[in-house]
A and B are shown apart, each in its own frame.
Chain A
């Protein structure tokens, strides 16, 4: 089917956006400290003055409880802005490096420079934070930026478009709203970096499009984040933390949420009891009525999740929850016990309020089980056993890991947040965001003194001897070579 006029207009619009941003970037405006600071301050103002509107948009898109919306999204963005404002001067400073004897005398430093015009493609589950956190990094690093928010969270997308359009510098920071046609048109253009948050299927499409222009990318993807639950632990606290990281994070629609649990056959029932008890404390006897649980984002995902529940391979395995309300797009916190490896729920990223428990005879087997799957964005273990913990850290590869906690590492801006393998490439948060959107350019300075004739043709045996001595760094050999010994 030939592209219709709407698609053509989209492609034209997007091409103009890209060209406009390039000429603004070439003017050097976005490189100045003043511009970066002014933009970061505007973002901070938006986050603080419009907090109510942001919380409302998140309630509208995701039925997100205010407390989750505040602590995960609004606070997340305002603290990133504040950190960037506080640290910008330090981040922008060149890093001096020691240069070796081979290049003596010389001085070296690594200078951070912006990449140019960058594209941030965001997602729907934390639509505010996952759009603006990367944008903060892009601006702090001195780039011009296009943000493409997810159309699946339309209220937040529209709010961001309005607020950024009004308060940010529209010549260098643009928002392009829309769906597949707009994203496709954007990916045809050349960008100096693409930052994508989403799933690995689209991740491949982004990377293929980036390859055409040799554009470097950051892909923040997902995966099945496992939680290994050992015995001899404080089960009540563990249960609370698991619940907190699963259902109190957007009803499990979070890239670092526990996807499945692995525990011993013996311990499983105790775990189920503890989860059941704490879930009732958190959400009451009828969770579908609780205002503290996010809804499923849309009917497509709702149907996807109920299909996992209705898979005949897991019939009879629901031990907690299972209730659903299609009109309200709500699914109660649901735990399934003893699911088989070939069930649907164990073969895709769940991204919802279903938590399967897989049982093993000995807890050590959990590691082998986890390693049959792709590398996840996060892996968790609750244990007091030092040896088990060390084996887990040594043998399981994941973006990040937490022991006795869930998702803690996201809270800290000094830790890089990103995946490995199927869960992604690149990292950000804190200074890592600044670095993700920078080119680290080494600058090596020499004078005209201190020349080593041995480097130049015509080549002679003496020069070879001298070079060998220089490259070995051995002072004695250098002296010997110099004297001609």
Chain B
């Protein structure tokens, strides 16, 4: 039976990975550097193969593929190579004088053998970003790419087999699990997890007066929805919040921007990715089935099931209880919700589970502060969207329903490390009052010691202060 033999293969692979890890090979700085450099060669030499796979799975344009996957990976490998020595080094910490003479250090060490389960929308980006962290931290790793992106999954396996150390890094193909199931399974083995999930990422659009600001904002919004895997991205803008008095201007601006960026016939433009498969296409089609949702469409709405293409679609005020406003859309449908006052956006956002990101396009510093302190989300970006994904110095991750844990830059290294505390003492100098038998005198000395009252200790010991 195939399932059974798959299990046996998996057991053997796991055994080999554990042996490799226990041999200490992956802990060596030289191994980590060589793997990262090989990963870099792979990204540079095989860019065409990667682009081809992404075109097959998602209809992605090569520039989008570079901008969103290959490019950021090149950046991340460079960042890791540059920072590795420092990340691996022990950090010194202080100990209280009462422990003198002593010293303490924090030493990062790899966790061991780690599992990376990836998604289909950025199949290379999401797998390798985590793998970079796992390798940099000195672990052996298993990669489980998504079966929904089969060309990418298969290309990934071939590339890893040719460029990386297959005794330490393996790819397992097959069907995927969802977050709660993963965490429950991890619980059996007390395995710590990072879960990078999603949510409905809102974009609050304030009434922008300058035409320059409007133009830039529209480009950024469109790019962060229709221009990024056709909205099938965890950090894509899910829906917009705008004040009633600005909403019709916003709709006109968006329509004009769609025309200018994607042309009269967006399908022919070749600049928008496809929906991943028929199942997700049906899911999106269903979101539009509700007659009240249909009635709220103000632009687009056409569906081409054979080509898995959905036109950039704008909706104004679909019912908030409709599926399109409850589930994460993950597609090129952009609802615009109108509010009496823009400040009401905070309450609206808080009525939904915590999102992976909140975006706000505004020059009003007061509004920015209100949004930042009044809501909780993985991250917040003002006047742009998705760019937090390429910022190495900012941790990338969710909170609440949008996820657990974070990565990117050094945070990737930390995620796959255990920071081990090492405290050292010498055999000289022992405070005799630490040991039983206990008496009030010793208790008094302890009180002074813990208050860092060294003079008090001295006086008590010299018999000049009564206990």
Contact = CB atoms under 8 A, between A and B. Distances in A.
Interface of A: 26, 31, 65-68, 70-71, 75, 79, 97-100, 102-103, 106, 108, 110-111, 113, 115-116, 192, 200, 203-204, 207-208, 210-212, 214, 216, 219, 221, 233-234, 237-238, 240-241, 243-244, 248, 281-284, 290-292, 371, 384, 393-395, 397-405, 408-409, 411-412, 414-417, 420-422, 424-427, 439-448, 451, 455-460, 463-464, 467-468, 471-473
Contacts of B78: 472-473
Nearest to A470: B71
A97 B427 contact: no
A229 B376 CA distance: 50
B244 interface: no
A400 B443 contact: no
Contact of A204 (B99, B187, B406, B443): B187
B393 A420 contact: no
A153 B434 CA distance: 26
Contacts of A221: 190
A116 B363 CA distance: 29
A412 B393 contact: no
Contact of B213 (A237, A281, A448, A463): A448
Contacts of B64: 457, 459
Contact of A464 (B22, B63, B107, B434): B63
B269 A444 contact: no
Interface stretch (B89-97, B154-162, B293-301, B453-461): B89-97
Contacts of B213: 448
Contacts of B118: none
B419 interface: yes
A110 B396 CA distance: 11
A67 B379 CA distance: 47
Contacts of A414: 93-94, 104
B450 A103 contact: no
Contacts of B383: 445-448
A71 B450 contact: yes
A203 to B, nearest CB: 6
A408 B423 contact: yes
Interface stretch (B167-175, B216-224, B245-253): B216-224
Report the 6 A-B pairs with minimum CB-CB distance, sorted nearest first: A459-B63, A207-B187, A211-B183, A400-B421, A442-B394, A234-B427
User: In the complex, which of the residues A68, A404, A459, A463 has the most CB atoms of chain B within 10 Å of its own CB atom?
Assistant: A459
B104 A415 contact: yes
Interface stretch (B4-12, B122-130, B330-338, B397-405): B397-405
Interface string B419-450: 11111111100100011111000110011001
Main secondary structure of the interface of B (DSSP, over half): mixed
Given A97-B393, A425-B190, A448 B422 contact: no
Interface residues of B, number: 104
Nearest to B197: A214
Given A214-B179, A290-B437, A110 B395 contact: yes
A397 B21 CA distance: 13
A212 B95 contact: no
B404 A444 contact: no
A442 B94 contact: no
B391 interface: yes
A270 to B, nearest CB: 15
B71 A468 contact: yes
A110 B378 CA distance: 11
Contact of B418 (A291, A397, A411): A397
A457 B180 contact: no
B230 to A, nearest CB: 11
Nearest to B394: A442
Nearest to A375: B418
Interface in B182-199: 183-184, 186-188, 190, 192, 195, 197
A106 B393 CA distance: 12
B382 interface: yes
B237 to A, nearest CB: 14
B390 A102 contact: yes
A282 B437 contact: yes
B93 A412 contact: yes
B188 A99 contact: no
B118 to A, nearest CB: 19
Given A204-B188, A208-B187, A415 B446 contact: no
